[in-house]
Amino acid sequence: MGNIAGRVLNFIILTPYLTRQFVPEEYGIHATLYAYAAFLMIIFTYRMETAFFRFASQTEPKNTENNTPDSNLIIQKTANTNTFSTAALSLLTTTLVLVAALIAFAQPIANFIEYPDQKAYVIWFALIIGFDALSAIPLAKLRLDSRPIYFVISKLTGVVVNVIFIIFFLEICPSLAENGNTFAQAIYQPENRVGLVFVANLLGSAATLLLLLPMYFKTRLKFDKNLYIKMLRYALPLIAVGLAGMVNEVADRILLQRLLPGTKDFVTAQIGIYGGCYKFAILMTLFTQAFNYAAEPFFFRHANRNDAKQVYGQVAQAFTLVGCLAFLGIWFYIDIFKILVAESYHEGIKIVPILLLANVCLGLYYNFAIWYKLTDKTHIGAYIAGAGAVITIALNIALIPLIGYMGSAWATLAAYATMCVLCYLLGRRYYAIEYPIAKMLTYITIAVILYFISLPIRTQFGGGTWIVYLVNTLLLFAFFILIAFIEKKALREILSKK
């Protein structure tokens, strides 16, 4: 909920506001720079948070003959503290170096991303990423320790501060500047309104880190060299996984900037439309990301259970069912959701169902990927993610000149689907989990068929009409009926227990 609530607040407030404040050409700058920032975040954190989960969750010492529950608890707490301390010191050192490097080379970087007059953007993003990187390990510890209240407060404070300063910079400052307020005039420059959004993000990230600083001060920071080497060996392949994942997630905006034919303003506008409509898929992305936030520490904590594999299979089945429901629910009522972005962005709505289905595949990949993390075969995870990245880049290069941003959407679906299948097949060899694949595929098939049934109705009567809503509601009800029929045995067991 901490992950979802912050992003939903961001989506419900900022997306409608920013898409109405900025024309697609301006919003395209916003989408492009955040795409580059996503790549840098992987470099800054180098997947230390996942390595932290892996080594902080170890509860058994080498000699287990005289272990008691209390002694195991002490061992777990010690492992948690040592791992936190080592990971935190590592990130603190590397973050300072990387932020300094980005600031020092801000102008060449601005030239490379084709915004030579916006050196300040690079500096602001260097600080944003630096603050977020320093928050990564404390937030991971809160997840592992099951402390959701602290987590929610830290995450939401950053979002609220971000929103407040955006409103201050874009609404209050212009009014004050017009009335002669010198402070407001110094801050607000009409030609730099997009940059003020980045400054607001910087202040939000700083607020989150400020709330997490007590976790650093309350821990005796001690660097364990041997543990650090083990963590690096575990995490380094995951950097490739993370970078490949970012290629799949955000490289489309970078490649659109480079490959889409047309004038610079047209290309930036198309990226803005794509980025604005991509926000609809964020409703599904929120679900998959929140699931991954909770699932990763959950999977590690329960790895030693006798029924762990059975539990993993049940989790994957449940995810598939809820993911299909979200896919249908968002698309069936997309004409309600689309009021969240300005009308000038609506032409890109056609990418939404493709991206929604892609995120279902991504969530299944998160489920299947647990095997290479538990077996320390993270290098295989890098190969799988690399295959997805190759597909993403190849299809974007092939399709963008032909069908524009629709090509990017199809490339995303193809990449995530491929990664999902590869991870499942390889997992059966190295860490076999009996997933109820037949049922999971049935859920997805039913959802896709109902989607295609809804298309001609929407085309015939137009989106947003009462008959379309009626038919889509009936189709959603049909999904529930079919699922209830498939799961009638499980439902009987649940009802009998009650």
Q: In this predicted structure, what is the pLDDT of residue 420?
A: 93
In a domain, 125, yes or no: yes
Record the tokens describing residue 139, joined without a space: 């937030």
Range of the domain at 59: 1-223
**Beta carbons of 53 and 296 less than 8 angstroms apart:** yes
Record the tokens describing residue 360, joined without a space: 């279902």
- At residue 375, what are phi and psi to the nearest 5 degrees? -95, 5
Residue 58 pLDDT > 90: no
Q: In this predicted structure, what is the pLDDT of residue 497?
A: 57
In a domain, 355, yes or no: no
| Owner of token pair 């799961």 | 487
Q: What digits encode the pLDDT tens for the residues 97-114?
A: 999 999 999 999 988 888
In a domain, 172, yes or no: yes
Instruction: For residue 462, give the DSSP letter.
Output: -
Give the pTM.
0.70
Per-chain mean pLDDT for the chain: 83
In a domain, 108, yes or no: yes
Q: In this predicted structure, what is the pLDDT of residue 446?
A: 94
Q: What digits encode the pLDDT tens for the residues 150-182?
A: 988 998 899 889 989 998 998 898 888 888 888
In a domain, 420, yes or no: no
In a domain, 128, yes or no: yes
In a domain, 314, yes or no: no
In a domain, 361, yes or no: no
Q: What digits encode the pLDDT tens for the residues 220-236?
A: 778 888 888 988 888 88
Residue 68 pLDDT > 50: no
Residue 281 pLDDT > 80: no
Those residues with Cβ within 8 angstroms of residue 139's Cβ, 6 or more apart along the chain or in another chain: 49, 151, 154, 155, 212
Residue 76 pLDDT > 60: no
Identity (one letter) of the amino acid at 482? L
* Listed residue (429, 464, 471, 254) closest to 338, CA to CA: 464
Q: Buried b / exposed e across 112-150, counting CB within 10 Å, b at 16+? A: ebebeebbebbbbbbbbbbbbbbbbbbbbbbbbeeeeeb
Report the distance separating Cα 353 and Cα 347, nearest Å: 14
The count of structural domains within the chain is: 1
